[in-house]
Structure 1
Amino acid sequence: HMLCPQEPSTFKFLNFTQNSFTDSVFQNCDTLARLETLILQKNELKDLFKTSLMTKDMLSLETLDVSWNSLEYDRSNGNCSWVGSIVVLNLSSNALTDSVFRCLPPRIKVLDLHNNRIRSIPKDVTGLETLQELNLASNSLAHLPGCGIFSSLSILIIDYNSVSNPSTDFFQSCQKIKSLKAGNNPFQCSCELREFIQSVGQVSSDMVEGWPESYKCDYPESYKGTPLKDFQVSELSCNTA
């Protein structure tokens, strides 16, 4: 490929934002072994499997930004083979679905997946023990993920999704969490939500970002727009068997 240097290159940083590069870019290119940061925003990348192959000889690569492309991942293409050095990966504003969690670098720490088509996180995903920061904003997730598979997670951004009944298990399983941003979701103000609201009240006030102003009831209609912190429902009406 014309972009691959013929001699071993000393480049540490390359930015090719807003070009027309396709999935063939940098394939089988072994002269960029010193490259640490590669930015390919706003190109014509379509296949995440091929993106992973592109990195395999970039032995120093730590940060890869392929946001604003048309990336999808089809498991039938085979297993992804990322270079093991990547710790920061920006996949935001693509066409990725739940399967993306099966195609991630092995030592990833910071992962940006906002503005994709993710509905849920597969339960049997493995290999994400190093992940510390996860941005899932502007997807279609209906639930807060637990930290069973993300044992090191400290920052979760999941605002602008479809979370109506967040589970309190989140706070129990995510012991290392320092920041949760989950506002602007269609919260269903019901008896079940009381436990979540109580849990928020028990953690330090700066841990839940945007609280209270970004957390409002969406339905039932009679509570629409009510801040979660002001939502009251009597013990009696919740305990009816």
Structure 2
Amino acid sequence: MASELHETIFMAKQERHKNLFLNYKNLNMFPVELLKDEGLRFLERLYMKRNSLTTLPDNLAQKLPNLIELYLHSNNIVVIPEAIGNLARLQSLDLSNNALQLLCPEVGRLRSLRHLRLSNNQLKNLPSEIGDLQDLETLDVSMNQLMSLPDSLHRCVSLQNLTVDHNLLSHVPRQLCWLHCLNQLSMAANRLTFLPLDLGRSRELQFVFVDNNTDLKGLPSYMYNKVIGCSGCGVSYQGLGGEMGEVLRDALIGLPAEVKVIGSEKDNVVPLEELAMRTLHHIHQQHPAGLNLLPPISLPKALLDLLQFPLGHCHRCSQAMFTITYPKFFPLRDTALAGVHRRTTVSFVAYCCSSHCHRTFDLQG
């Protein structure tokens, strides 16, 4: 096996191969032949699936500077060196089915990266630096131990496909709604209790999968015309009718912690705090430097963050909302999608900015 490996690498050097396949070679260590002398400076794609590697060499980028794709699926890699960030041309990195417990912040220096696959590892968090990957199109972190996603993900402006299945997520950052290129979002088998109010507002987002989140009872009504997967969501309250059924359904719909007031159809006055936030937001949107011209604003950081990323936008009139929402429920079993999702009792929820919008909103309008 060693002689065969040596011959494969020797031929790659001699013939200046751009692709090198070292899959299923029973490798415990990264082959030193790849790192001798000048290395394989012309190599663009290196495939090392199903070996027993536990780490990568610190001088990988120095010896293989033109790597575009690094495929390390199914090894025993526990840690990747900080020097990984020196692979300036890398576009695809696959570390699925390894033993990663930590993703180093230096991965944020891979500015050419388009596809990052980290499924089936032991990751408990992602570094905020992942938001520096502005060319990233695919991120797969399914089958890990993530309890949250970094808010900085909204800076991955090219992200099209985000897969976070089989983790421990209880919520999704509302900032993800600002990923205007996102086409598919898969969050099956987590612990979600609610989804961001604006999820689905982007026309580009067409596929949302939230299967087997048993505490998830509501989907934002923006998702009504999307392809959704929600079997296994919600609990059965069939047979409960009238006012009691409505009260229970209201209690079952989870809302973000920032929601301070849940309005009803009878409320005619929006709280002063909400009106102030809407006014500040309007100034900020029309004149980004406008807030600097005002006296110092004494608001908690959470509210200041809301000025940049509102809690949501009214499903009726698109007014930004910050501390109050008027939810209106449309049980999925009463909609046109009932036949597709027979096993779920989840509802679509329209989040409105006022009692007027609440009264006049129609899911199919």
TM-score, structure 2 normalization: 0.52
1:207-218 paired onto structure 2 within 5 Å: 207-210=206-209, 214-218=211-215
The answer as to whether partners of 1:29 and 1:54 remain within 8 angstroms in 2 is no
Structure label with greater radius of gyration: 2
**SS of equivalent residue, structure 1 residue 14:** strand
% identity of equivalent residues = 18
1:50-129 paired onto structure 2 within 5 Å: 50=57, 53-73=59-79, 79-80=83-84, 82-103=86-107, 105-124=110-129, 127-129=132-134
Q: Can you give the 5+ residue segments of structure 2 that lack an aligned partner in the other structure?
A: 218-230, 238-247, 256-260, 263-365
Q: Which residue of 1 aligns with 2:156?
A: 150
Q: Can you give the 5+ residue segments of structure 1 that lack an aligned partner in the other structure?
A: none
- Structure 1 position 35 matched with structure 2 position 34: no
Q: Deviations over 1:121-167 (max 9, x none)?
A: 22355642222211111111112443244233222111111112223
- Structure 1 position 165 matched with structure 2 position 165: no
The answer as to whether partners of 2:128 and 2:150 remain within 8 angstroms in 1 is no
Between the aligned partners of 2:254 and 2:75, the Cα distance in structure 1 is 50
Between the aligned partners of 1:59 and 1:122, the Cα distance in structure 2 is 24
Instruction: Tell me by how many angstroms 1:100 deviates.
Output: 3.4
1:4-19 paired onto structure 2 within 5 Å: 4-5=9-10, 8-19=14-25
Q: Which residue of 2 aligns with 1:233?
A: 250
Between the aligned partners of 1:29 and 1:5, the Cα distance in structure 2 is 13
Counterpart residue type for residue 44 of structure 1: S
Q: Which residue of 2 aligns with 1:183?
A: 188
Instruction: Identify which of structures 1 and 2 has the higher relative contact order when contacts are C-alpha pairs closer than 8 Å and 6+ apart.
Output: 1
Q: Deviations over 1:158-186 (max 9, x none)?
A: 111111222333213x2332221112212
**SS of equivalent residue, structure 1 residue 171:** helix
Counterpart residue type for residue 216 of structure 1: N
Counterpart residue type for residue 80 of structure 1: I
- Number of residue pairs aligned between Structure 1 and Structure 2: 223
Between the aligned partners of 1:218 and 1:236, the Cα distance in structure 2 is 9
- Structure 1 position 199 matched with structure 2 position 198: yes
**SS of equivalent residue, structure 1 residue 99:** coil
Q: Deviations over 1:40-92 (max 9, x none)?
A: 011121114x1x63343334421110111111226xx6543543222011111
Between the aligned partners of 1:78 and 1:206, the Cα distance in structure 2 is 34
Between the aligned partners of 1:14 and 1:125, the Cα distance in structure 2 is 28
TM-score, structure 1 normalization: 0.74
The answer as to whether partners of 1:21 and 1:45 remain within 8 angstroms in 2 is yes
Counterpart residue type for residue 104 of structure 2: V
User: 1:166 and 1:232, CA in 2 relative to 1: closer, same or farther beyond 3 A?
Assistant: farther
The answer as to whether partners of 1:142 and 1:162 remain within 8 angstroms in 2 is yes
- Structure 1 position 23 matched with structure 2 position 29: yes
Between the aligned partners of 1:235 and 1:73, the Cα distance in structure 2 is 41
User: 1:18 and 1:205, CA in 2 relative to 1: closer, same or farther beyond 3 A?
Assistant: same
